[in-house]
Amino acid sequence: MKRYDWERMDEAERAACLARPLAGQQDGVEAVVRGIFGQVAAEGDAALLALTARLDGVLPDRLALGPVDFEMAGLQVAPTLRQALGEARERLRAWHAAGAPRGFELETAPGVSCGRMMRPIRRVGLYVPAGSAPLPSTALMLGVPAELAGCEEVVLCTPPRADGRADPAVLVAAAMCGIRRVFVLGGAQAIAAMALGTESVPRCDKLFGPGNRYVTAAKRHAAALPGGPAMDMPAGPSEVLVIADAGADPAYLAADLLSQAEHGPDSQVLLVTDRADLLETVAAELERQLRTLPRADVARRALAHARLIRVARLEDAFALSNDYAPEHLILALREPRAWLERVRCAGSVFLGDYAPEGLGDYCSGTNHVLPTGGAARAWSGVSVASFQTAISYQEVTPVGLAAIGPCAVTLARAEGLEAHARSVLRRLEDAA
């Protein structure tokens, strides 16, 4: 793993240090995605089956799952796992319910009432990855806020296992959220199906879920189509940035870095500290922990583009972090809350030595579907609001029209829009 001294680097070197893996290889990915969308648009379900056979190496006997599949899945999931999923679901519901947006109404002038009402998105498409491992937790992270928002129809796609079936734990998690419309379908072809619609898969109004760079590119492509679906956020390869001080435990830091590195070879992990000796200690600890890590090969490939960075002051670490805008930000500091105000761009923040990122991935209550690739500069993680639209309304009495109508006339004429002005003037004249 490379070590960097932030103080000795110029702006170009710093930008290169914070570059994401594979950032320059998107053209080829986008070309593949365009081809998949074209094939699905032309051939529908037949294309989905052909693409699944070619890309996943398996041909499911059907795309849509039914009640028997859910019943079998329930029998295959161990009681301990079912209980853990249930506990995680309850904490997710509590957190998401507390943060759900509410409608409101107020009088902005005498006789003028303005409000906002929240409405669920009618049909949403959820993507639950299973590339290197099935992710039932993601089914909860997406299903819980969709259920709380009151979406009329929820469609879920998840890749097939080697036997052509969906992972049982994913189905159990989906059922816990009231989701029954599930398709054994993964990758960019799943996104294309939910964006375009096929004989089996319905066309969705908004797409949600993390995935690899092909899935992320597919979501972007879908959102750019004329009349295409909205997307939750860019949520691609996972990443973590850790800011540590002299009191941080090197074993904890190494474990946190590896918890992201094992996601996939295109994941990125960064450790930033003002202590050069800590970087060396953590590097040695990483090697020690890798020896017993089941996914060590995957983690080692990710660590090839890890960054161990020394800064002169912790204040510089926060400036660096805000520029990078990490998906996960761990503050391994003695007084993490005192530094929280300095965080401007991050998907989710973990405070102190006893809040490992793994808790947020599964069961603390916050959502793990977060913006990646620097998108946290302007995007937020999934919430109930992600599954709703906010519709404004206004009601005006004759008194209200008299109070604010002249203001509207003046502004309309300043913009050269006389028809706007006359739509107000006619009513003012009639009310006079």
Q: Active-site residue numbers?
A: 327-328
Residue linked to tokens 């503050």: 331
The CA distances from residue 96 to 92, 133, 212, 340, in Å, are 6, 26, 26, 21
Q: Is 260 annotated for ligand binding?
A: yes
Segment 23-29 long-range contacts (CB within 8 Å, at least 24 positions apart)? 26/213, 26/217, 29/213, 29/214, 29/217
Taking a C-beta distance cutoff of 8 angstroms, is the pair 150, 229 a contact? Answer: no
- The CA distance from 198 to 50, in Å, is 14
The CA distances from residue 362 to 86, 159, 286, in Å, are 11, 20, 23
Contacts of 260 (CB under 8 A, 6+ apart): 238, 239, 240, 267, 268, 269, 302, 328, 357
Q: Is 26 annotated for ligand binding?
A: no
Neighbour order of strands in the sheet with 268-273? 2-5, 307-310, 268-273, 239-244, 328-332, 348-351
Q: Is 328 annotated for ligand binding?
A: yes
Q: Is 361 annotated for ligand binding?
A: yes
Q: Is 420 annotated for ligand binding?
A: yes
Q: Is 367 annotated for ligand binding?
A: no
Q: What is the CA radius of gyration of the chain?
A: 25
Q: Is 212 annotated for ligand binding?
A: yes
- The CA distance from 416 to 396, in Å, is 24
Q: Is the dihedral of CA 132, 136, 137, 141 positive or negative?
A: positive
- Two structure tokens written together for 402: 């008299």
Q: Is 127 annotated for ligand binding?
A: yes
Taking a C-beta distance cutoff of 8 angstroms, is the pair 359, 378 a contact? Answer: no
Contacts of 381 (CB under 8 A, 6+ apart): 233, 347, 348, 366, 367, 368, 369, 370, 371
List binding-site positions for NAD(+).
Answer: 127, 189, 212
Query: Binding site membership for Zn(2+): which residues?
Result: 260, 263, 361, 420
Query: What are the binding residues?
Result: 127, 189, 212, 238, 260, 263, 328, 361, 415, 420
Binding residues for substrate, by number, are 238, 260, 263, 328, 361, 415, 420
